[in-house]
Amino acid sequence: SSGINAEYGGCPNKQACSTGKFKTDTSPSDVAIALSKVKHKILVLSGKGGVGKSTVTAQIARNLAARDYSVGVVDVDVCGPSLARILGVNGQSVHKSSDGWSPVYTLDDIAVMSIDFLLGSEEDAVIWRGAKKNGMIKEFLTSVDWGELDYLVMDTPPGTSDEHLAIVSLLKQSKVSGCVLVTTPQEVSLGDVRKEVNFCRKLKLPIVGVVENMAWYDCPKCQTKSEIFPATTGGAAAMCHGEGLDLLCSVPLSPKVGQSCDSGVEGEGLPLEYGVLVDKITRYCEG
């Protein structure tokens, strides 16, 4: 009933699990070894759901790949694993070898790991409490044969709970290179992002900056610019100014982005702001 494909005999770690191997709560050194050939690890966070975090994660990955970086993506949102669909690889299978699980590769050579590849059907629900989710996240970080990567980008669910604590704990030795926080211009989103900022500061996570998504809409017919989610308190710019953070970019709401996410195909005419975002991320990480 966990939703894991029975074809795999249930959880791939059933046997190892019964030996008590995973009873240790965290294994930062295991993760550090497993990710030793990954140069930069980026966490994409938001306090609020529905602000486009998975979209931004995918755009970061695609733009990095377009700049000839070797890129991997982990979808840590195990209950709502959208990234596989957004990157056009949903429903595919992973294979396990002595080197671990091999990630699924997109057409633009992005290595992807997601629970989507372990689920039998698109209707399967992952009805797991926190501890079980943490176990899967640890698997993603220790048991995937990522090979050499320039960037590993990690999508997270909204909030500051089990998944986030697990990632931070597991990456203690391996080190998070930077966090990208995603918001929309509304105060109800900014309020939650402030919490996320304080989460990062409390856990000493470096913050690259903030992406303001869905910032405005340009009518394709008359070119009128409309604020879809009005910035009643100055939007991300004011929040970043108040918190001493970098506003990495403000991205317009483009139907082409939604179409790209739904089809899993990159498409043309996507906001150029995502390219600016990636330039800033690489500058932050590489100096």
Residues at the site binding another protein, with contacts judged by CB under 8 A: 1, 3, 47, 49-50, 54, 77, 79-80, 82, 85-86, 90, 122-131, 133, 157-162, 164-165, 186-188, 191, 194-196, 198-199, 202, 217, 219-222, 224, 226-230, 232-233, 253, 255, 258-259, 261-262
**Are 4 and 11 contacting, i.e. CB atoms less than 8 angstroms apart?**
yes
Rounded CA gap, 53 and 205, in Å? 18
Q: How far is the CB of 85 from another protein (least distance, A)?
A: 6
Task: For another protein, give the closer residue by CB, 162 or 279.
Answer: 162
**Are 89 and 106 contacting, i.e. CB atoms less than 8 angstroms apart?**
yes
Q: How far is the CB of 198 from another protein (least distance, A)?
A: 5
Q: How far is the CB of 183 from another protein (least distance, A)?
A: 13
Q: Report the alpha-carbon angle 226-229-231, nearest 5.
A: 95
Task: For another protein, give the closer residue by CB, 220 or 287.
Answer: 220
Rounded CA gap, 117 and 95, in Å? 10
Task: For another protein, give the closer residue by CB, 35 or 180.
Answer: 180
Task: For another protein, give the closer residue by CB, 149 or 209.
Answer: 209
Task: For another protein, give the closer residue by CB, 55 or 70.
Answer: 55
Q: How far is the CB of 221 from another protein (least distance, A)?
A: 4
Q: How far is the CB of 212 from another protein (least distance, A)?
A: 14
Question: Is 147 strand, coil or helix?
Answer: coil
Task: For another protein, give the closer residue by CB, 35 or 236.
Answer: 236
Residue 38: CA atoms inside 13 Å, Cβ hemisphere, count?
Answer: 28
Q: How far is the CB of 173 from another protein (least distance, A)?
A: 21
Report, in this order, helix, strand and coil percent for the chain, each rounded to 5.
40, 20, 45
Task: For another protein, give the closer residue by CB, 139 or 192.
Answer: 192
Q: Whose structure tokens read 């790209």?
A: 260
CA 208 remoteness from chain centre: 14
Task: For another protein, give the closer residue by CB, 34 or 86.
Answer: 86
DSSP 89-100: -TT---EEETTE
CA-to-CA separations, 164 to 63, 79, 131, 282, in angstroms, rounded: 25, 14, 12, 23
Q: How far is the CB of 23 from another protein (least distance, A)?
A: 17
Rounded CA gap, 230 and 244, in Å? 22
Element (H, E) at 113: strand 111-113
Tell me, what amino acid is at 52?
A: G
Q: How far is the CB of 150 from another protein (least distance, A)?
A: 26
